[in-house]
Amino acid sequence: MHIGRNLRPAFIWQKYGWRPLLMFAVYDALIGFMYGPLNIHWLDIPWQPVATLGTAVAFYIGFKSNASYSRYWEARQLWGAVVNSSRTWTGRVLDFVRTPDDNYGYDSAETTAHRRLVYRHLAWVNALRLHLRRQTAELWQTEVVPFLLDPADHALGQTNNPPAQLVVRQGHDLRQLSFDGMLTEFREVSMAETLRDLNNHQGACERIKNTPFPRQYAFFSYVFVMIFALLLPLGLVEEFDHRVALGPYHVWLMVPFATLVSWVFHTIEKVGHNSENPFENQENDVSMTAICRSIEIDLRQMLGETKLPKPVPPVADVLY
């Protein structure tokens, strides 16, 4: 996720600039050369149908960009809900999990239970991030296992859905705490509702991840932009040829104008394309790594810890 006020020129040039600009400039210059020096005038077509096509393409890629942004924004809202549910879970752990002879202080059994439940939740948050980015196999040992205080949980990284298994383990722990008298039935139900919310957040994220943007929209959006870019210089070349007041080289002015318009349409289409899948760990995606670290800092502070990690810093104005 970009956090700078403006995009860096180097980023624009690398991601959106030089390739399409070079492609469009070479093609438009070729049309200008064939129309001008080679005098092949049958290339020109009326401007009106090109303009009509451009209007239709603008509406189409505008729809795609809006739909793509909606996917990104829903993903960001879901991770905002994960943040809120994480704080709710930790608050309930600290308030509800008590020994029967509770005297409003924390004994060793309570502290151990609190830390195990909260740290397993931190493991769930990071496991969900890896699961959505398809990185579980590579980073499970370094990103998740340090938060799993129960060695029996370490093998969950080999399951098909590790975060879902961690939520199940939390539910088993609640049942055991209730059996041990550290959790009343009402409080167990209340904490189970928070686990249900976490499951709902995960399921909604998986829905976005596993349901790609409809390919008919994504594919034809690119095709229509390229068709428009191919026809644009053919419609503009005669328009500039009729501008006698511009001088003997007026035909060549078609090249920069056609290149610029084609690049604008191509960039709008690509911006929408880059927002289709917000969980790919790209520059424009949801900054799940930074959100996970923020949750870790908050929850560990709620546990009373003082040795905390630092927030994830941005890299070239991008927060991952």
Phi-psi map region of 270: left, alpha, beta (phi>0 left; psi -120 to 50 alpha): alpha
Mean pLDDT of the chain: 86
CA distance linking residue 243 with residue 221, whole number of Å: 33
Higher confidence at residue 114 or residue 18? 114
Tokens for 23, please give them. 């492609």
Q: ∠220-225-227 over CA atoms, to 5°?
A: 90
274-318 confidence digits (pLDDT tens):
788 889 888 788 899 999 999 999 999 999 999 999 998 988 777
Residue 132 is predicted with a pLDDT of 94
Close Cβ partners of 113 (under 8 Å, ≥ 6 residues apart): 93, 97, 173, 177, 182
Question: pLDDT over 70 for what percent of the chain?
Answer: 92
Rounded to whole angstroms, what are the CA distances from 14 to 7, 256, 284? 12, 20, 14
**Angle (deg, nearest 10), helices 18-35 and 254-274:** 150
φ, ψ for residue 3, nearest 5 deg:
-115, -5
**257 pLDDT above the threshold of 80:** yes
**72 pLDDT above the threshold of 80:** yes
pLDDT band for 244, please (50, 70, 90 cuts). very low
320 three-class SS? coil
CB 77, CB 200: distance < 8 Å: no
Which amino acid belongs to residue 205? C
CB 116, CB 193: distance < 8 Å: no
Residue 216 is predicted with a pLDDT of 76
pTM: 0.86
Tokens for 140, please give them. 């499970």
Close Cβ partners of 57 (under 8 Å, ≥ 6 residues apart): 224, 225, 227, 228, 265
**44 pLDDT above the threshold of 60:** yes
Nearest to 17 by CA among 228, 226, 223, 260: 260
